[in-house]
Amino acid sequence: MLAGMLKSIMPRGLYWRAALILFVPVVTILLVVSVVFIQRHYEGVTRQMTGNFARTADYIRAQVEAQPDPQAAARRAEEMAAAFGMGVSIRPVPAPALTPDPVAFYDLNSRFAQAQLREALQGVTFVGVIDGAVRLRLESGEELLELTFPLTHVAARNPHQLLVVMLLSGVLMSLISFVFLKNQVRPIRRLALAAEAFGRGEVKPYYATGATEVRAAGRAFLQMRRRIERHIEQRTLMLSGVSHDLRTPLTRMKLGLSMLDHEPEARALLADVRQMEALIDRFLEFARADVSEEARPVDVPALLAERVAAVCRSGLMTTLQPCTSSGTDPLVMMLRPELFARALDNVLENARHYASRAEVRLDIGAETIVVIIEDDGPGIDRKQRADAVKPFVRLDTARGASDRAAGAGLGLAIVADALRSHGGRLVLEQGQTPGLGGLEARLILPATLRVMPG
């Protein structure tokens, strides 16, 4: 339980965690030195000073008591006052009561000095600080001897200068440490931003800087990025090359079969050739999903309205619901418009194959912006949803297979790749809207892509 509470209050960023690791021990050591060492040291000094003063007070009292009459005692008291630099007076008994000033809770030396005076001297009837000076009353025969002296005669004052120097130097060193920490954390942040941008398909300039370990991580990231870029380029070239090479023989076959369209077998073969051409188009579309496209501001509601209108013309009854949002600002996001439009088309085309009606909704949240496409088809079983977004995986048995749904299993894979390149993700769920209840595809985008007006 304690670990959970500490985890909830501890900072999550490396910068502030490193600052805690650095400053907590330093502050603890300063507090221990200030409270334990300095206080004990000055208590010893105060004990020595009060002991010396107690002997002086006893001497003054003995000198006053040795006088033969009150006039001589008063004169001797004045001489003692001039000799020792303090107020010395004789008070009759009973003397007027004195009210000491309250001692501040942090003034430990003053409280300790008064206790030492009571312990070291006999016949103490009053000791306290009044108006910044110590008043001490001692029994002297039939009268009271009152001594008035500064607190510095019996107590070593707190080392304010030392504490101020410690505080100022600590603040200065803390500022310098924060600057150094910031310089050490900056390369890690740059590496994280470069990795995040590469995950969205953007290649931002990055060079390894910082400490040795951070440089090693940066160089490893650059090597990994180059390997992934080569892999993507090789895959794209392979798919494009194979698809291009297949088009020529398919075109000849299609031309030859079109001349024999009166034969039943030729018509079946011609349908197979057309299906192969459709598969090649899907391969090329999947290859183009990794091709770099510059991101630019896109009006998302307008883009949705355009794609919904296009799919309605193809025969799928689709409705676009109003945006669900707490604000009134227009929704403009930094997207790759062709790639994102291709993702929308693939989800809507998937709905056209397996459903007769679909609904498109836009949910604008604080952290994510979600495009929800729900149809009235059979949906996808929960156990098969993870496989549905994998390339070349077909789930026709789960969606009510038919010839009209023949494909390469790349539709949802293209959607998932397109969203990942924008820093988002594709989530497949079972719809809950009355009258629909089929597959619900949630195209989730980070709200950081949103372009705020002004």
Collapsed DSSP state (helix, strand, coil) of residue 187: helix
Task: Report the range of poorest mean pLDDT among 124-138, 302-316, 435-449.
Answer: 302-316
Calculate Rg over the CA atoms of the chain: 44
Q: Within 13 Å of residue 434, how many CA atoms lie on the same side as its CB?
A: 0
Is the confidence at residue 291, as pLDDT, over 60? no
pLDDT at 338: 85
Q: What percent of the chain has pLDDT over 90?
A: 9
Output DSSP code: residue 36.
Answer: I
Helix axes 108-120, 39-65, angle to 10 degrees: 40
pLDDT tens by residue, 430-441: 988 888 888 999
d(C-alpha 328, C-alpha 108), whole Å: 63
Average pLDDT of span 61-76: 88
d(C-alpha 142, C-alpha 136), whole Å: 17
Burial of 372 (0-12, 13-18, 19+ CB in 10 A): buried
Listed residue (104, 97, 96, 95) closest to 132, CA to CA:
104
**Strands 143-150 and 87-91: what pairing?**
antiparallel
Q: What percent of the chain has pLDDT over 70?
A: 85
Block residue for tokens 């995950």: 199
pLDDT at 404: 42
Give me the DSSP letters along 322-349: PPB-S--S--EEEE-HHHHHHHHHHHHH
Of residues 273 and 146, more confidence is placed in: 146
Is the confidence at residue 294, as pLDDT, over 70? yes
Of residues 328 and 17, more confidence is placed in: 17
CB 389 within 8 A of CB 380: no
pLDDT at 453: 74
E strand intervals along 38-117: 87-91
Is the confidence at residue 4, as pLDDT, over 70? no
Confidence of residue 388 (pLDDT cuts 50, 70, 90): confident
Q: In what order do the strands lie in the sheet with 87-91?
A: 87-91, 143-150, 133-140, 124-130
Quote the pTM value.
0.53
pLDDT tens by residue, 252-271: 777 777 777 667 777 777 77
d(C-alpha 308, C-alpha 313), whole Å: 9
Average pLDDT of span 157-177: 74
**Strands 357-364 and 317-320: what pairing?**
parallel
pLDDT at 443: 93
d(C-alpha 239, C-alpha 407), whole Å: 16
CB 111 within 8 A of CB 128: no
Confidence of residue 235 (pLDDT cuts 50, 70, 90): confident
Confidence of residue 405 (pLDDT cuts 50, 70, 90): very low
Average pLDDT of span 359-370: 89
Task: Report the range of poorest mean pLDDT among 154-168, 299-313, 349-363, 394-408.
Answer: 394-408
Q: Which residues contact 295 (CB under 8 A, 6 or more apart)?
A: 202, 334, 335, 336
Confidence of residue 444 (pLDDT cuts 50, 70, 90): very high
pLDDT at 442: 92
pLDDT at 326: 52
Is the confidence at residue 400, as pLDDT, over 50? no
Task: Report the number of secondary-structure helices (H) and strands (E) in the chain.
Answer: 13, 11
Is the confidence at residue 413, as pLDDT, over 70? yes
What is the average pLDDT value for the chain, to the nearest integer?
81
d(C-alpha 430, C-alpha 183), whole Å: 49
d(C-alpha 411, C-alpha 148), whole Å: 97
pLDDT at 277: 76
pLDDT at 220: 92
pLDDT at 406: 47
Confidence of residue 57 (pLDDT cuts 50, 70, 90): very high
Task: Report the range of poorest mean pLDDT among 7-16, 214-223, 366-375.
Answer: 7-16
Collapsed DSSP state (helix, strand, coil) of residue 372: strand
> What domains can you pick out in the chain, each with its CATH number?
12-158 (3.30.450), 212-286 (1.10.287.130), 295-449 (3.30.565.10)
Indicate if the alpha-carbon torsion angle 193, 195, 196, 198 is positive or negative. positive
Average pLDDT of span 9-34: 76
Block residue for tokens 């398919």: 250
pLDDT tens by residue, 115-146: 888 888 898 899 999 988 899 989 888 888 99
Phi, psi (rounded to 5 degrees) for 392: 65, 25
pLDDT at 199: 73
Is the confidence at residue 64, as pLDDT, over 50? yes
d(C-alpha 432, C-alpha 374), whole Å: 9
pLDDT at 55: 92
pLDDT at 321: 75
CA dihedral 278, 282, 283, 284 (to 10 degrees): 100
Amino acid at 450: R
The alpha carbon of residue 211 and the mean position of all alpha carbons in its chain are separated, in whole angstroms, by 22
Kindly report the number of other CB atoms within 10 A of residue 272's CB atom: 12
pLDDT at 399: 47
pLDDT at 382: 86
Average pLDDT of span 54-76: 89
pLDDT at 56: 92
Of residues 224 and 108, more confidence is placed in: 224
- According to DSSP, the residues that pair with 358 across neighbouring strands are 318, 375
Is the confidence at residue 305, as pLDDT, over 50? yes
